[in-house]
Chains A and B, each alone.
Chain A
Amino acid sequence: MNSALDSFYREAAQLELTNAEASTITRRINRRATRRRRSPRRVLAVGVAVAVMAALAAPAWAALGDALGGLGAFFDGGQPPGTQVAQSDYPVWLRGDGELPTAASILATNSGSSLYAYRDASGDICFGYGGHVSDCDGDAAWWRARFGSHQAVVLSTNPTSDATVALYGIATHSAAQVELRSADALLATAPVTNGGFVLSVPAGSAPTTLVVKDADGATLDSLDVSTKQWTFCADEQGCP
């Protein structure tokens, strides 16, 4: 084989996940698994990777300061912002195996899809969406670090029952509105309420960018969302 190509393919064949990448993947699959129960204890390597990531991002958290508003207070031990939900009104999936969250609220709702913020029985900071998915972590620094230099964090996309896909996210206090755009069109807009947002687009749409705007309509940030899953898989046998 040509030596340059040989080198190229050999390098690809020897690629390994970094600790941070392994941590991200472990989190993502555990998040998917959090259905009516908490994720299992993370392995030591994941914990170390998260700690390193958090340490590296320390300057960014300081810059965020109060920029997270109610979310920041929630991260620091306060009540979740938004519309408080009484325990008796918790949705079934939030009731888990009997260990009820100590506090829960709805940050944002769009087309029937809601983004919940809550602190679970073990004290972890959680965001719940899609009727069964919970994204939890007890480390406030890790949540702050997820913002990095951005004005918003995309939690995930999740198909809904009516062949639409919802995108759930959280944003800084400065963010007032978010837009989903494809390469050549505006696909959806939604307000940022209580630091959260839910956008909804037809399944199969191809959003590429999440635009974050302030109350005056000025663009604060743009995030690449082209790598998110935007399909709706109705035929389980045919999935993925």
Chain B
Amino acid sequence: MSDEVAAWVRLAARGDEEARTALALRASTSALRTAAAVTGSREVAFDIAQDVAVDVISGLARLKDPDRFDAWVYRISSRRTLRAMRRGWSARAMERPLVDLADAAHPSSPDHAAASSEQLAARQAIREALAAIPPRQRLALALRYVHDLSDADTAAALGCRLGTAQSLLSRARSALRDQPALADFGQVALPEEGIYELRS
């Protein structure tokens, strides 16, 4: 979290339009990344990112600590993403082929067209694996691996206790490892099983 972002928050609170726009774009980019990793669809992720931008700007007055802007955005993104999953976006998104997210905005790019069959098979494996685990677990993984959040920050974003977040991550990794193609997932960082209590 840079001082610059905190300064934007203060300026936006005083009505500075450029600061407001900068914050909206920062928030929506963050949300886009979170939601894309959860839904597997850039299109759906962008819809969520728009909603997050509106939530952030309309709720900026409620942010008491400007230094916590990014954490606040993670929380809003998490709520919005889970809400979207409950509405059934996840099922529809996962029914589509999981494309290279970075190329999704430019599906005709040569790199995208040249994806090898091995890559496509790997993406299919990811699609199936992610679709099989609950949304909150998917979200916990996204917060950890996309935004590199600590367990505590992941818990804050999810609005749950530390132990719950750790349990979600543990269960998610375990579920993914059940997929043959992803058997080595999380081996290095895997916490011991069974020591966390699921509270939510």
Q: Which residues of A contact B (CB under 8 A)?
A: 1-5, 7-9, 11-18, 21-22, 24-26, 28-30, 32-33, 40, 43, 183, 206, 208, 226-227, 229, 237, 239-240
CA distance A197 to B19 in the complex (A): 35
Q: Secondary structure of the B side of the interface?
A: helix
Cβ-closest chain B residue relative to A20: B105
- Let me know if B194 is at the binding interface, CB within 8 A: no
Which residues in A have their C-beta under 8 angstroms from that of B17? 40
The answer to whether residues A11 and B79 also contact, given A1-B186, A25-B53, A29-B53 and a CB cut-off of 8 A, is no
Pair A29/B123 contact, Cβ less than 8 Å = no
Of all chain A residues, the one with the shortest Cβ separation from B23 is A29
14 more A-B contacts (CB under 8 A) besides A13-B147, A15-B45, A227-B51? A1-B188, A11-B100, A15-B102, A24-B50, A25-B25, A26-B25, A29-B57, A32-B54, A33-B57, A226-B89, A227-B48, A237-B62, A240-B55, A240-B76
Task: Decide if B80 touches A240 in the complex (CB within 8 Å).
Answer: yes
Note all chain B residues with C-beta closer than 8 A to A16.
Answer: 29
Interface residues as binary, B107-131 with A (CB distance below 8 Å gives 1, 0 otherwise): 0000000000000001101100000
Q: Are A13 and B33 in contact (CB under 8 A)?
A: yes
Cβ-neighbour of B146 out of A12, A208, A227 (below 8 A): A12
B165 within 8 A of A: no
User: Given the complex of chains A and B, what is the CA–CA distance between A113 and B29 in angstroms?
Assistant: 34
Q: Closest residue to B36 on the A side, CB-wise?
A: A12
CA distance A30 to B50 in the complex (A): 12
User: How many of chain B's residues touch chain A, expressed as a range?
Assistant: 35 or more
Q: Cβ of B54: which chain A residues have Cβ within 8 Å of it?
A: 28-29, 32
Residue in contact with A26 in the complex, picked from B24, B79, B146, CB distance below 8 Å: B24
B interface residues (Cβ-Cβ under 8 A, vs A): 17-18, 20-21, 24-25, 28-29, 32-34, 36-37, 42, 44-51, 53-55, 57-59, 62, 76, 79-80, 84, 87-89, 98, 100-102, 105, 122-123, 125-126, 141-142, 145-147, 176, 181-186, 188-189
Is A15 within 8 A of B33, CB to CB? yes
Chain B residue numbers with a CB within 8 Å of A22 are: 25
Q: How far is the CA of A18 from the CA of B104 in the complex (A)?
A: 11
Q: Known: A15-B29, A25-B25. Is A1-B145 also a contact (CB below 8 A)? A: yes
**C-alpha gap A96/B99 in the complex (Å):** 46
* Shortest beta-carbon distance from B187 to chain A in Å: 8
Q: Give the chain B neighbours of A21 by CB distance below 8 A.
A: 28, 32, 46, 49, 105
Distance between Cα atoms of A4 and B115 in the complex (Å): 13
User: A226 — which chain B residues lie within 8 A by C-beta?
Assistant: 87-89
Cα of A25 to Cα of B54 in the assembled complex, Å: 8
Which of A4, A43, A227, A239 contacts B125, CB < 8 Å? A4
Are A12 and B101 neighbours in the complex by a CB distance under 8 Å?
yes
Q: Report A-chain residues with C-beta under 8 Å of the C-beta of B57.
A: 29, 32-33
Q: A9-B146, A12-B33 are in contact. Are A28 and B53 (CB under 8 A)?
A: yes
Q: Are A4 and B126 in contact (CB under 8 A)?
A: yes
Which of B89, B183, B185, B186 has the most C-beta atoms of chain A within 10 angstroms of its own C-beta? B185
Q: Which residues from B are CB-within-8-Å of A43?
A: 18, 21
Q: CA–CA, A33 to B33, complex, Å? A: 25
One of B25, B29, B59, B89 near A227 (C-beta < 8 A): B89
Closest 9 CB pairs of A and B: A4-B122, A12-B37, A227-B47, A9-B145, A2-B185, A240-B55, A40-B17, A11-B102, A11-B101
